[in-house]
Amino acid sequence: MSAPATSPAGDLTTDPVDPRPFIEGTQTDQTINDTLLHHVFRGAGKGWWACFAVALAMLGCLVVALTVTLVKGIGAWGNNIPVGWAFDIINFVWWIGIGHAGTLISAILLLFQQKWRTSINRFAEAMTLFAVMCALLFPLIHTGRPWFAAYWLLPYPSVQGIWPQFKSPLVWDVFAVSTYFTISLLFWFLGLIPDLAALRDSATSKVKRTIYGMLAMGWRGSGRHWAEYKWAYLLLAGLSTPLVLSVHTIVSFDFATSVMPGWHTTIFPPYFVAGAIFSGFAMVMTWMIPARQFLGLKHVVTMRHLENMNKVMLATGMMVSYGYIMEHFIAWYSGNQYEFAQFFEVRQKGPLAPIYWLMIFCNVVTPQIFWFKRMRTSLAVMWVASILINVGMWCERFVIVVISLHRDFLPASWGSYAPTWVDICLFTGTIGLFSTLFLLFLKFVPAVAVTEVKELRHETEHDAHIEASLTAGVTGGSH
């Protein structure tokens, strides 16, 4: 028997393994307000205008491509039998996936009690909204006559008794994505309300005060307001969490419910969800690295935040790799010649094999660098890696959609696929739409949830206070 064991000093405020704080420097509520609201009030700089011009030019591509699509019909795209689905669904899935990081950071990390989320959740939630908007464009225009899309997509009590095909996962997509968008919008806006009130209170002109005042919906920051706000926030977080899973699960059903080689596999739902989070975090990283530099956010979006995000990318990248391993193993194990041919012949050695190998490089090899702390803390490395991961995840959807379709069961029905300039412009255009909206967001709304950062600062201070009083008042004793 040994003597009673004594635990270490029990310091709640400093982490003996990783003492880096989530808010750097000596901060007060005032300094946080000033630094995080500053970029909204200062005039747009040359850099912002330059980026905005590029984004608008790309948005112009979208306008042209949409016009051609609407005038000529979807015959302007490269889709043709056997590749009946191509850029439209690839881009849809890619954009929806990118949106997932926002919901994960704002909802799931909240439920997991991860304090580091406070500096990046606003940013990522905005990304969710804009990404879902880009995504929704594709199912809408792929109908050919989007002005009729509501009749075809939404079930309404038609006198003719015509209903959408409820057995089709494409209809489930409509329900899932529209619910997801609604909840994400509510969640994002609810989180913004206290910050909009702060903007209202510190606005320099009457116009700004009026606009921000209307958006703040009479927020006064009373105890009752905060109590209701906290409940609503937690409730929306709880509702959003299953939505993160359901949306991409149903997107995976678009493929997996069919019998197409390379599509029909039971691991698809969780593997799609992991892939979505993987690409979403990569996109957050791509934007966050320059944004924290130019908006002066380095004291609240610290290297520790970025490192944590890299770890999430490593974890979700490994889950995606697990999915690949299972798919390839079962393609062989099943003894199904079509599955085997798809995975080991067509994808690896076929005419579109470079895209498959690029996918493997970007999604499997690239995240492995994040095992090393030096790589996880290098801005240049993580920025390049995040772009590669985005490329890889787009390639993954290309591999699943196009490579599977262009070599199906019958050699007689095999074909090839090449996108037209309209396809490429549509894709580039959605990147322009996303960038335009995002730059406007960065200009007019606080990019970091100011209230939550202040709350985190108070919590940290409170813990330190308790710690100090315990250390001063308690010597020894038993628990």
Partner 1 sequence: MTVDVQKFQGGGGWMTKAGALGVVGLGASLAGIAMDTQKALFSYLVAFSYWAGIAFASLILLMIFHAFRAKWMVVIRRPLEVMAATVVLFVLLFIPIVMGMSHLYSWVSPAADMGAEALKLLAHKKPYLNVPFFVVRTGIYFLVAIFLSHRLFGWSTRQDESGDVQLTVRQRSLGAGGLPFIALVISFAAFDWLMSLNPLWFSTIFGVYYFAGSILSTIAILIILTNKARGKDLFGDHVSVEHVHNLGKLLFAFVCFWGYIAVSQLLLIWIANLPEEIPFYVVRFRGPWVPVGIFLIFGHFFIPFGALLSRNLKRTPKRLAVVAGWLLFVHFVDLYWLVMPTLSPDAPLFHWTLVTSFFGVGGLSVAFAIWRMRGHFTLPVKDPFLAVSLRYRQP
**472 touches partner 1 by CB under 8 A:** no
165 near partner 1 (CB under 8 A): no
| 119 near partner 1 (CB under 8 A) | no
Rounded Cα gap, residues 294 and 292, in angstroms? 6
Q: Please report how close the Cβ of residue 478 comes to partner 1 at its closest, in angstroms.
A: 4
265 binds partner 1 (CB under 8 A): yes
Task: Give the rounded distance of the alpha carbon of 209 from its chain centre.
Answer: 32
Cβ(452)–Cβ(36) below 8 Å: no
- 80 strand-pairing partners: 83
Q: Which residue reads 């944590």 in tokens? A: 308
C-alpha 206: how far from chain center: 36
* Binding residue (CB under 8 A) for partner 1 from 67, 258, 416, 469: 258
Residue with smaller CB distance to partner 1, 159 or 474: 474
Q: Indicate which single residue of 48, 229, 233, 322 sits in contact with partner 1 (rule: CB under 8 A).
A: 322
Shortest spacing between CB 210 and partner 1, in angstroms = 36
The residue among 242, 280, 275 whose CA lies nearest residue 105 is: 280
Residue 80, helix vs strand vs coil: strand
Closest among 478, 474, 350, 452 to 114, alpha carbons compared:
452
User: What token pair was written down for 31?
Assistant: 């300094």
Report the nearest approach of partner 1 to the CB of residue 335 (Å).
Answer: 4
Please state the closest distance from residue 320 (CB atom) to partner 1, in A. Answer: 12
Q: Does 327 bind partner 1 (CB under 8 A)?
A: yes
Radius of gyration (C-alpha) of the chain in whole angstroms: 25
Helix (H) or strand (E) holding 101: helix 87-103
Whole-angstrom distance, CA of residue 88 vs CA of residue 153: 16
User: Does 270 interact with partner 1 (rule: CB under 8 A)?
Assistant: yes
Which string of x and - marks every residue 275-314 that binds partner 1 (by CB under 8 A)?
A: ----------------------------------------
Kindly list the distances between the CA atom of residue 212 and the CA atoms of 37, 202, 205, 222, 441, in Å, as whole numbers in the listed order: 13, 10, 11, 18, 14
Minimum distance from CB of 351 to partner 1 (Å)? 26
Question: Which string of x and - marks every residue 59-98 that binds partner 1 (by CB under 8 A)?
Answer: ----------------------------------------
Q: Choose which of 214, 259, 365, 418 interacts with partner 1 (CB under 8 A).
A: 259
Does 12 help bind partner 1 (rule: CB under 8 A)? yes
Per-residue mark of binding to partner 1, 354-373 (x: CB under 8 A):
-----------------x--
# residues contacting partner 1 (CB under 8 A)? 51
End-to-end CA distance of the chain: 20
Give the interface segment with partner 1, choosing from 148-156, 261-269, 292-300, 403-411 (CB under 8 A).
Answer: 261-269
Closest to partner 1 by CB, 191 vs 419, is 191
Supply the minimum distance, in Å, between the C-beta of residue 7 and partner 1: 5
Angstrom distance (rounded) from CA 359 to CA 227: 47
- Tell how far CA 48 is from the center of its chain: 23
Among 264, 303, 338, 428, binds partner 1 (CB under 8 A): 264
Cα torsion at 23, 29, 30, 34 (round to 10°)? 50
Residue 21 engages partner 1 in binding (rule: CB under 8 A):
no
Q: Which residue has the tokens 């240049």?
A: 380
Does the CA dihedral 220-224-227-233 come out positive or negative? negative
Q: With respect to partner 1, which residue has the nearer C-beta, 43 or 476?
A: 476
Judged by CB under 8 A, does residue 207 bind partner 1?
no
Positions in the binding site for partner 1 (CB under 8 A)? 1-2, 4-12, 16-18, 113, 242, 245, 249, 253, 256-259, 264-270, 315, 318, 321-323, 325-327, 329-330, 333-336, 371, 470, 474, 476-479
